[in-house]
A and B are shown apart, each in its own frame.
With several copies, the nearest count.
Chain A
Amino acid sequence: MTEALEKLRQEVRTWLEANAPRNWRETCTSHEAFLDTQRSWFAKLVEGGYGVPHWPAEWPGGGRSLAEQKVIYEEFARADTPRLLLSFMSTYHAASTLFEWGSEAQQRKYIPRILQGEIWCQGFSEPNAGSDLAGLRTRAERRGDVYVVNGQKLWSTMGQFADKCLLLVRTSDERAKQAGLTYLLLDLKTKGVTARPIRQIHGDEEFAELFLDDVEVPVEDRLGKEGQGWAVAQSTLSSERGLTLLELSARLRGSLWRLAALIRDAGREADPGVLRDFGRLATKIDATVAIADQFLATRIAGEERVGDASLVKLTYSRTLRDFTSLGIRLGGMEAQYHAPIVFGGGMETGNWMADFMNSYAWTIAGGSDEIQRNIIAERLLGMPREPKNWTLAGDVA
């Protein structure tokens, strides 16, 4: 087993030496360059057989165990390849949901196109349904063979570049909010769809807002039954199996040289306070790598508990914030001058203010830190859930 993994590691490493894109950090300063890099890198990976290692064995490039996937991603991090941002939703969220809920016809229609580079985005969040997804309001009304959809979606990752969308809509107003949801596969070229990129505070546009105005979706593009949307969405949300944070922690570990360089540039190698803060951060990063690693091992062993993923996400997001904060502190005034961002450059590009602001994506998106704390307290520690119904106190504090 371990020998086979070591063999795979060597294979991947050799392949990456020949195929990994170079200098992309210098060139990706426009959306166009970013899209080009992402598309050609994904195509090359598919060709090499490393594009979708997590897919079932019956699909080309699939059939790798989690342990094998871990090796592959560790090598990606080591080679500092571009992260697969553009195709991430397609190969994980869309594919996994289709594998679990799609009819054979739906799978045959959509899966091969993903390998050819078709891009999916996710249409779950809404302006008034962020952390509280069950409260979403985008309506779909069935009229004969189509659903007519009206509403607005937010935070669709890469939505402005996507071809298709995993769309969660409300088809009825039953008392249990989840029961009224239905899951649709939306072609974004359909009439009535408008995608508008969301300008983030550091200047990137990784997300889009989708406006849906009398958009017709054929009933055959429904995943699962009407009213089953919540269950289908759970598949989508749990499709990523813990590799992302392993990869990101490894990349964070590999970026410590940026802070070391700053310490040297600032001539603060002899400042014990700075050394201690740096040492503490490095240790925290090692701990983040360790917990991500342990989490994956738990998953591989089939022993994951609800809440374990929250521990990893919370740890990573705090560590990333600390990392970028220390960069800003050491960078001093220099860090306050604006520098253009590297599109798709990842979480630690050395553009400290941009990286710092980008780190909020991790403490807010994908279940905010606050939601993760609820999950840890309630699911891992067995504390009571939040009250469901309540009345406000009167004159007693």
Chain B
Amino acid sequence: MSLTRAELQDAARKAFGETGLAPDAEQSWALIADLGWLMMSVPEALEGLGLGAVAAGAIHSEFGRVLMPGPAIAQMLAIEALAAADTLAVRDELIARAMAGEVMTASLSGAVDGRLTCVPDADRASQFLIVSDARVSLMPRADAGMKVTPRETWDRTRRLFDVTFEHNADGLVLAEGAAALALAERLRAQLLFALAGDSLGGADAILQLTVDYLMVRRQFDRPLAMFQALKHRVADMKTVLSATEALFWARASAPAPSLADMGALKANATTVYRAIAEEAVQLHGGIGLTMEHHCHLFLKRAMLNCALGGDADRWEEAAGRQMLAQAVA
């Protein structure tokens, strides 16, 4: 199957264009499953769509645009991990259930300390992906010995949890040894890529909303959009966003981007998202400071995206280290 970026964007905007920002979690989750977006990167042999990173990028970007709630990013990680478990008997069934919308979740923290934090929608998940360099496994919900603690974030468009399993149970092993290491790297890169896409979609949406507002809002007998100082700031935002978008699509189709490449992309995209969301609040003036307006939703999600998956400090340093090793006269 083949779908262009534009076709996917078009489908997403048709599906979510009318539900508005931060749509209802349950309804939109059902819709996502219905539209087949959870099958996106699943190989066609496993009844998926077999689309690549560009398609995934388009979807995450559209999710960011509407401040989509729910565990889509985590779910895709779980599915990706399952798809890699070639020899597992129950794999196909689990993938089918996941593609149909049964929640299988994973940590979005980007930490490598083995703790299961920043797990979206853990309260309604049936499976939990656990990733380490030595082993990737899937842990089923357990009635006993499992603790799911809600951790309310400033961003209310996501619902994150801490999860612990009391008995050091093994779960379903998806990969071990060298295969686990390779899979873990790929999953981390995908998490970073998804967060970057989410951020760029959100940034583009709030930038457009800000321009719209400036065109309408009048002060001193003219629309704010007439003030050159504001025009130039918006132009600068548009410029950094466009460059980062170009990088996003370039890395989406690059043959072998490294983890540091994806981390640097994510750092760049979240930094831009945050900067644009901050400018949006400022340019909206008083109304941007109230819960009544949607500015704060973007700002808070931008800030959370900055922290998830490892922050800019971590990834910019990694990118610098990598470049230092590579760049020789």
Contact = CB atoms under 8 A, between A and B. Distances in A.
B291 A201 contact: yes
Interface string A270-314: 001111111110111011111101100000000000000001001
* Most B C-beta atoms less than 10 A away, residue of A274, A276, A336: A336
* Interface size bracket, B side: 35 or more
Interface string B212-255: 00110011111101111111101110111011101101100000
A150 B244 CA distance: 48
Given A311-B242, A383-B211, A256 B327 contact: yes
Nearest to B264: A283
Contacts of B218: 128
B313 A360 contact: no
A374 B152 CA distance: 41
B118 interface: yes
B63 interface: no
A276 B235 contact: no
Interface stretch (A43-51, A182-190, A362-370): A362-370
B108 to A, nearest CB: 10
A186 B110 CA distance: 56
A137 B229 CA distance: 27
Interface in A358-397: 360-361, 363-365, 368-370, 372-374, 376-378, 380-384, 386-387, 390
Interface in B295-329: 295-296, 299-300, 303-304, 307-308, 311-313, 315-324, 327-329
A274 B311 CA distance: 14
Interface string B255-290: 000001000110110000000000001100110111
Nearest to B247: A287
A131 B285 contact: yes
A360 B240 CA distance: 19
B225 A384 contact: yes
Contact of A275 (B109, B228, B300, B324): B324
A275 B243 CA distance: 22
A276 B211 contact: no
A200 interface: yes
Contacts of A288: 243
B117 interface: yes
Nearest to B325: A260
Contact of A333 (B117, B268, B295, B329): B117
A369 B230 CA distance: 12
Interface residues of A, number: 77
B292 A290 contact: no
B265 A382 contact: no
B151 interface: yes
Contacts of B222: 390
B290 A378 contact: no
A332 B318 contact: no
Nearest to A369: B282
B317 A275 contact: yes
B155 interface: yes
B153 interface: yes
A345 to B, nearest CB: 15
A257 B296 contact: no
A314 B239 CA distance: 7
Contacts of A369: 282
6 contacts: A132-B219, A200-B289, A201-B289, A201-B296, A293-B246, A329-B313
Given A284-B268, A333-B307, A357-B289, 16 more contacts: A135-B219, A200-B291, A201-B300, A279-B315, A279-B318, A279-B321, A279-B322, A282-B323, A283-B268, A286-B250, A318-B239, A333-B117, A353-B303, A360-B281, A374-B235, A377-B234
Give me the 7 closest cross-chain CB pairs, A-B, nearest first: A279-B320, A279-B319, A275-B320, A201-B296, A290-B246, A377-B231, A291-B246
